[in-house]
Amino acid sequence: MPRPAAPIDFYFDFSSPYGYLAAEKIDELAARYGRSVLWHPILLGVTFKATGLVPLTVIPLKGAYSVHDIERSARYLGLPYTHPSGFPLPTQHAARAFLWLNDRKPALARAFGLAVYRAYFVDDVNISDLGTVLNIAAGLGVDRDTLSGVLAGSEIKTRLAAEVDLAMARGVFGSPFIFVDGEAFWGVDRLPQVERWLAEGGF
């Protein structure tokens, strides 16, 4: 029996519009080539300190274009998008909740991740709020008090920090960031290259 192909690594920040667009597409794309996807939440605020980069939307000229490009890219990909009234937002609560769920029930974590992204980028919900994050999880059947206790503890904070450090050690500097068999791809606009890499084993 052939050994199953290695999973794809998908790095994302919950405050990243292009990360949201990629999150809606990556599992289906990978599945077409017999691959699964490991989802890795990161904090761009931490990577920005290492690279000196800043959120796209605050850069003169580029900022105005970026919002327009995000909205157009969503239409191009057939996805709903409403630019949030608060942007960007701190996303550590959502990222930590994702990690904790993902250790236990990856499919549930996936549903939670997509629900958080859609709340933020479709329904303009403030996902930086701890109560909101807990409500989204509870809506999917997660015990609210248990998750609340987890997010109040230090263990999950240390864990997320270590995950972000590991991502940067692999070269991750943005969102979405994808690895296919060690090959790095940055941006939802690289999904066609990801697809060709999966189809041809490189090019």
Give contact residues for a copy of itself (rule: CB under 8 A).
Answer: 47, 50-53, 59-62, 64-65, 68-69, 72-73, 75-76, 168, 171-174, 184, 186-187, 189-190, 192-193, 196, 203
- 3 state SS of 133: helix
- Taking the complex as a whole, how short is the minimal distance between the CB of residue 40 and a copy of itself, in angstroms? 16
Contact 49, 43 (CB under 8 A): no
CB nearer to a copy of itself: give 44 or 137.
44
User: Which residue number, 40 or 96, has a Cβ lying nearer to a copy of itself?
Assistant: 40
- Nearest to a copy of itself of 20, 100 (CB atom): 20
Q: How far is the CB of 89 from a copy of itself (least distance, A)?
A: 23
Q: How far is the CB of 191 from a copy of itself (least distance, A)?
A: 10
Nearest C-alpha neighbor of 177 from the set 162, 194, 160:
194
Distances (CA, A) of 10 to 16, 37, 162: 13, 7, 16
**Is the Cβ–Cβ distance between 43 and 92 less than 8 Å?**
yes
The answer to whether 26 and 8 have CB atoms below 8 angstroms apart is: yes
Please, which residue, 4 or 203, has the CB nearer to a copy of itself? Answer: 203
CA dihedral 142, 147, 148, 151 (to 10 degrees): -150
Region label for 198, one of left (φ > 0), alpha (ψ between -120 and 50) or beta (otherwise): alpha
Which residue among 15, 16, 128, 175 is the active-site one? Answer: 16
Longest pairwise C-alpha distance within the chain: 55
Question: Minimum Å distance from CB 164 to a copy of itself?
Answer: 13
The question of whether 175 is a catalytic residue gets the answer: no
Tell me which residues are annotated as active site: 16
